[in-house]
Structure 1
Amino acid sequence: MSRRAFCERHDIDEQRLARWAKNYPAPPRLAEVVVVGELPSARSSSLVIELGQARVHVERGVDDELLARVLRVVGSVC
C-alpha cells in the first residue's frame, strides 16, 4: 500500500507520517493500534500509549521529533 493510501485509509496527515519516518534510521515498522474505551475528542488534552509494560502519556501539542525519540527508546526496551 502506498504511503498516501495508508494515510487516507487511517486519517493520518501524510506530511506528519513523513516527518516521523525520517526520524528513524530504518524504515518505520507500523503496528496495529487497538483503542480501548472512548476515542479521545478533539478537545482532549492528552492520550496514553501503552507498549508492553510501559505507558507514555502524550500531551496535546507535543513535538513530533521528541515523541518519536521517546517511542524509539521505549520500543527498544519493551
Structure 2
Amino acid sequence: MSDQLKEALLAAWRKRAGQTEADVDPEDQYDELLKAADQMEEQGLITSAEWRQLVREAGNLFTLNEQQPHR
C-alpha cells in the first residue's frame, strides 16, 4: 500500500467532502464520496474500518446538507 497515494486520495476525498457551494447537489456529492471510498478500498489503499468511517462521514454530511435551506 502506498502511503503517499493513500494520503493524497484521502486529502482529495476530504476536499470533496468540504465543498459547500450552492451548486453542489448533496445527493451527487454523497454518491461521489461513496464511489471514491469504494475505489480506495477496492485498490487496497484503505481498510474496511477506514471505509466504514468515510461512509459514515459521507452520510453525516449528506444529512447536514439536506437539512440546510436550498437556494
> Normalising to structure 2: TM-score of the pair?
0.31
> Normalising to structure 1: TM-score of the pair?
0.29
Structure in which a larger fraction of residues adopt helix:
2
The answer to which structure, 1 or 2, has the higher relative contact order (CA under 8 A, 6+ apart) is 2
